[in-house]
Chains A and B, each alone.
With several copies, the nearest count.
Chain A
Amino acid sequence: MRREIVSRLRKEYIASILAKGERMDGRRLDESRSINIQFNVTGSAEGSARVQIGKTDVIVGVKMGVGTPYPDSPESGVLSTNAELSPIAAPNFETGPPREDAIELARVTDRAIRESGAVDFDSLCITPGEEVWMLFIDIQPVDYDGNLFDAAEIGALAALMSAKIPYSRMEEGAEDKPLPVRCFPVSITAAKIGDSIVFDPNLDEEHLADARLTVGVDENGAVRAMQKGLSGGFTREEVGKIIRTAGVLGDERRRLLFEAAEEAGVPVPR
């Protein structure tokens, strides 16, 4: 009971400073936390990355293997995205088969990659109708301090950029080739708390949030994916503003991704 009163007071306080355009950690409402992207963090994966957005920490691995294409797309590689919300990352996460939160995280990340055409799946065909490359993106948060959506998506993109198709495993002497990535969608998440919209919400802000909107924008400013969450509503205007701000923040984050990639010797377009 007392805890509830405290948390209600805390919520009121945070909402009041948000109304003044301030956040607990000093950020502007439309400001992301600092982001740190490392490439090739695990040698057993074909590609991997570790992304830290503030204290949120996510490892993404890309594995590739040879498999059978779907009958309705016999010349396309197959993408499978999975997220494991292990208790390592937060005390309330549970072991066992993925629950709705993990499934939503995986599916939203999957769509941002798949629907943007970031990967040319036709280039992953080995023998039409028989053998194609299977592409597994595995998302493993290790510390959860809010906004897993953005961390997972940029991590998936970075892991793909660093991935090498393991031709050497198929044929002795063959050379592994970089997996071509041709579109760079970036997910930007906003949360609505009271009447304020904050971007890149941290854990405290997520707990207070009434509604959430994740927008995936590409390097041409086009929207590639959206996902609204939580039971609160957005007005028509709020959605419009979030999408436009997401474009700006997305460009910034994409620039940071490319910088980190260049530093790590990972190929970058241009």
Chain B
Amino acid sequence: MGGKSDIRLIDENGIRIDGRRRDEMRPVRIEAGVLKRADGSAYLEWGDNKVIAAVYGPREVHPKHLQETNRAIVQYYYAMAPFSVDDRKRPGPDRRSTEISKISAEALENVIFVEQFPRTTIDVYVTVLQASAGTRCAALTAASVAVADAGIPMRDLVAACAAGKVEDQVVLDLVKEEDNFGQADMPIAIVPKTGEIVLMQMDGHMTLDEIDEAMDMAIKACYDIYEIQKEALWKKYERLAEEEVV
């Protein structure tokens, strides 16, 4: 946020640098059940973002002192592959990924029936293979599908999308250049069935009216994401059914 640029990010016709309208999301494609070894998995492409998610659990907690006697814990590991960004990222968690992992775990905990699995852990690993802004929303969206793919009881999925502000206009789903040179970014995740907001961050500068507009835009997009998530799971179940028939 807040960098300077001579680039016009939105032209006189309201068209953004990658050809989208203000309230248009990048294309999103999700595939569920892509891995053999993981209990659940998903692969997601969101514009130029590429993300893979794997889920294990409920399984034993190590070390033991992390156990909760009355519920499962949710551990979320957001990581960027070293080759996912222009300047190679050193492997291992940094402060940014630690924070993203924390708030994403909290969001997922909301929809998982953790009380059903005391003393266990549900481990969610998401790796960004290619990054172009919005990776925390892409990761959480994929992770949610992977948890469902693992057959872990959930009351709903979590769907995520960001809105923000670029050249004094509220826009949906910022792309890399907009993220670098825009005025605000606000990732949101919701539980679609209830509309509850389970993840929300914002930095930059927005008036109250802009916040309202951005929230409306992002929440609407989350419902579109939700449809894509459900479709991915649907396709996976169809595939399984076919295999069983065969």
Residues of A within 8 A of B (CB): 4, 41-45, 48, 55, 57, 59, 61-63, 65, 73, 82, 84, 86-91, 95-98, 100, 103-104, 106-107, 111, 114-117, 136, 138, 140, 142-145, 213, 218, 221-236, 239-240, 243-244, 247
Contact = CB atoms under 8 A, between A and B. Distances in A.
Contact of B37 (A65, A138, A144): A144
Nearest to A203: B37
A236 B95 contact: no
Given A48-B83, A142-B52, A224-B205, A231 B110 contact: yes
Contacts of B2: 114-115, 117
Given A41-B129, A89-B35, A228-B197, 7 more contacts: A57-B35, A59-B81, A63-B83, A84-B91, A107-B95, A138-B82, A222-B205
Contacts of A43: 48, 130
13 contacts: A4-B70, A61-B83, A61-B84, A86-B79, A100-B99, A115-B204, A136-B88, A138-B88, A224-B204, A226-B202, A228-B103, A231-B198, A233-B110
Interface string B68-79: 001000000101
Contacts of A239: 197, 200, 215
B84 A44 contact: yes
B101 interface: yes
Interface string B198-236: 111111111110011001000100000000000000000
Interface of B: 1-3, 35-39, 41, 48, 50, 52-54, 56, 59, 70, 77, 79, 81-88, 91-93, 95-96, 98-99, 101-103, 106-107, 109-110, 123, 125, 127, 129-132, 186, 190-191, 194-208, 211-212, 215, 219
A52 B119 CA distance: 36
B179 to A, nearest CB: 13
A115 B84 contact: no
A26 B103 CA distance: 31
A65 B193 CA distance: 47
Contacts of B127: 86, 88, 140, 142
Contacts of A62: 83
Closest A-B pairs by Cβ, 5 of them: A61-B83, A233-B196, A45-B83, A226-B202, A63-B88
B201 to A, nearest CB: 6
Contacts of A100: 98-99, 101-102
- For the residues of B in contact with A, the DSSP-based class is mixed
Nearest to A138: B82
A169 to B, nearest CB: 8
Contacts of B92: 96-97
Nearest to B198: A233
B36 A145 contact: yes
Most B CB within 10 A of own CB, among A44, A115, A235: A44
A202 B131 CA distance: 32
Most A CB within 10 A of own CB, among B41, B86, B199: B86
A235 B197 contact: yes
Nearest to B107: A231
A231 B109 contact: yes
Contacts of A104: 99, 102-103
A136 B208 contact: no
Contacts of B190: 233
A233 B191 contact: yes
A140 B195 CA distance: 37
A91 to B, nearest CB: 5
B207 A82 contact: no
